[in-house]
């Protein structure tokens, strides 16, 4: 560590130790479906197998389709089953995108998630990068009981809806405050709840 009176023109000895940490972050951008495969079992296969994840079939605007479907699930909308089957949803998505003023022709990433969160303040939007509880790529800064969980597949570059978080993550309990998994809510020690 440096002394408090160190300045920007502080000189280093050639034998001094210096540690540089570089973090590389690939920002997610979902366009729709892509034919790429990953090693092992792809996330797209897991999405298809798990009942707690709703696979978005939309070729374009998958984030908007996922958002409309997730809101319908949270609000017990009678059109929820039609939205899952990719019926009656295209017109709703077009109106939503026109109302908010978002263009998803270049894909949907963090910036679009922030814009959706600013518009839907009664829901907390959380997007996961994989099927691990701590793999969060976006978490809205809204305190709301209504939570919308998305799963982003970076190989397919596609968003899906998580309807049951503990089922999707294959965990018995997932804390809403710190997003950590545990065997039960009784044994979970969290200073945020």
The answer to whether 181 touches 130, Cβ cutoff 8 Å, is no
User: May I ask the CATH class of domain 43-182?
Assistant: alpha beta
Element (H, E) at 115: helix 110-119
d(CA 65, CA 12): 55
Q: Look up residue 1 and give its two tokens.
A: 């560590």
78-119 pLDDT tens trace:
999 999 998 899 999 999 999 999 998 888 899 999 999 999
* Confidence tier at 63 by pLDDT (50, 70, 90): very high
Q: Would the pLDDT of 76 be above 80?
A: yes
pLDDT band at 12 (very low <50, low <70, confident <90, very high): low
pLDDT greater at residue 89 or residue 21:
89
pLDDT score, position 57: 86
Question: Among residues of the chain, what percentage have pLDDT more than 90?
Answer: 37
Q: Decide which of 66 and 5 is more confident.
A: 66
Res 47: pLDDT: 77
Burial class (CB in 10 A: 0-12, 13-18, 19+), 22: exposed
Whether 52 has a pLDDT exceeding 60, the answer reads: yes
CA distance 69 to 162: 10
């Amino acid at each position: 560590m440096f002394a408090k009176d160190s300045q920007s023109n502080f000189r280093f000895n050639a034998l001094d130790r210096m540690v540089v940490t570089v973090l590389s972050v690939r920002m997610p951008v979902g366009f729709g479906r892509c034919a790429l495969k990953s090693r092992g079992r792809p996330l797209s296969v897991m999405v298809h197998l798990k009942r707690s994840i709703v696979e978005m079939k939309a070729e374009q605007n998958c984030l908007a389709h996922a958002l409309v479907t997730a809101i319908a699930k949270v609000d017990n909308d009678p059109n929820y089953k039609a939205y899952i089957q990719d019926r009656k949803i295209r017109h709703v998505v077009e109106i939503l995108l026109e109302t908010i003023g978002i263009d998803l022709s270049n894909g949907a990433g963090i910036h679009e998630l922030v814009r959706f969160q600013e518009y839907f303040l009664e829901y907390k939007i959380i997007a996961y990068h994989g099927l691990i509880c701590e793999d969060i790529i976006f978490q809205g800064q809204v305190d709301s009981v209504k939570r919308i969980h998305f799963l982003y597949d970076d190989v397919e570059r596609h968003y899906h809806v998580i309807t049951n978080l503990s089922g999707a993550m294959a965990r018995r309990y997932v804390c809403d405050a710190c997003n950590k998994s545990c065997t039960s809510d009784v044994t979970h020690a969290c200073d945020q709840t």
